[in-house]
Every structure is written in structure tokens, then in C-alpha cells.
Amino acid sequence: MQSIINRTRAFIRDEGGVTAIEYGLIATLIAVAIIVGVTAIGTNLEAKFNVIAGYLT
């Protein structure tokens, strides 16, 4: 019985899983920021190319 209690206490004190989850969340937020930035740049770039194409025709 004491072994189960000690294992439970050790599991509660272990922060390795929490750290991994935090790193995963940070990586997800960075990925979302990159996707939003690339999408915005792509939209602006498309508009500029359309203006240039209009001048060429």
C-alpha cells in the first residue's frame, strides 16, 4: 500500500509532462502566427501582381 502512495506522490510531483505540453502549446502558437503572416503576405502579394498585370495588358 505504501508503494502505491509513494508512486502517486512521485507522479503528482513530476513536471516533465506539463513542460512537454507547454512546449507543444508554444509551438502551436508559433505555427499559427506563421500561417497568419504568410497568408497576409500572400494576399497582399497577389494584389500587387494583379495591379502589375493590369498595367501590362
Per-residue pLDDT band at 49 (split at 50, 70, 90): very high
Q: How high is the mean pLDDT of the chain? A: 88
User: Does residue 1 sit in helix, strand or coil?
Assistant: coil
pLDDT tens digits along 21-37 = 889 999 999 999 999 99
Residue with cell 508554444: 26
Domain spans, the chain: 1-56
Query: Widest CA span of the chain, in angstroms?
Result: 84
| Whether the model pTM is above 0.95 | no
Per-residue pLDDT band at 20 (split at 50, 70, 90): confident
